[in-house]
Amino acid sequence: MTCPKCGAANAEGVQFCTNCHATLLFKCPNCAHMQTHGGTCESCGANFDLFWASYLALKSNEEQQVEIDKLKAEAGAFMQILTLPLAAGASLTRFLFGQAAMQFIGRLFSRLTSR
């Protein structure tokens, strides 16, 4: 296969020129048909430029959604950190007062039963 750009001879089936690295074989992104020119697929008629433009737009939207999800997760974690003193304080207060109340009831019960 001869390179149309530089004229160098290349082995059959090579996708890029070994001399100038120009594309020799184009693979259709839709049906995987191999052909010697780009633009439109000879087999299925897919427009390469239109296919890749829509593919890149889809991937860009996916990346933006991932970034939005990351920001939401970070905001949620930040809110948990902000509310931690309030939530932990209530639990700690219940725990401490609960323990004190149980100890008081235990002492009271032991005094009543020892008489």
| 42-78 per-position pLDDT tens digit | 989 999 989 989 999 999 999 999 999 999 999 988 8
Q: H or E element: which one contains 98? A: helix 48-114
Task: Give the torsion sign (CA, 78, 80, 86, 91).
Answer: negative
Per-residue pLDDT at 111: 82
Two structure tokens written together for 74: 């970070």
Predicted confidence band of residue 109 (pLDDT cuts 50, 70, 90): confident
Entry pTM: 0.46
Two structure tokens written together for 14: 């090579």
pLDDT tens-digit map of 13-49: 899 999 999 999 998 888 989 888 888 999 899 999 8
pLDDT tens-digit map of 88-107: 666 666 676 777 766 777 78
- For the chain, the average pLDDT equals 85
Per-residue pLDDT at 106: 74
Q: Which amino acid is at 63?
A: E
Q: CA 26, CA 6: separation in Å to the nearest integer?
A: 17
Per-residue pLDDT at 90: 60
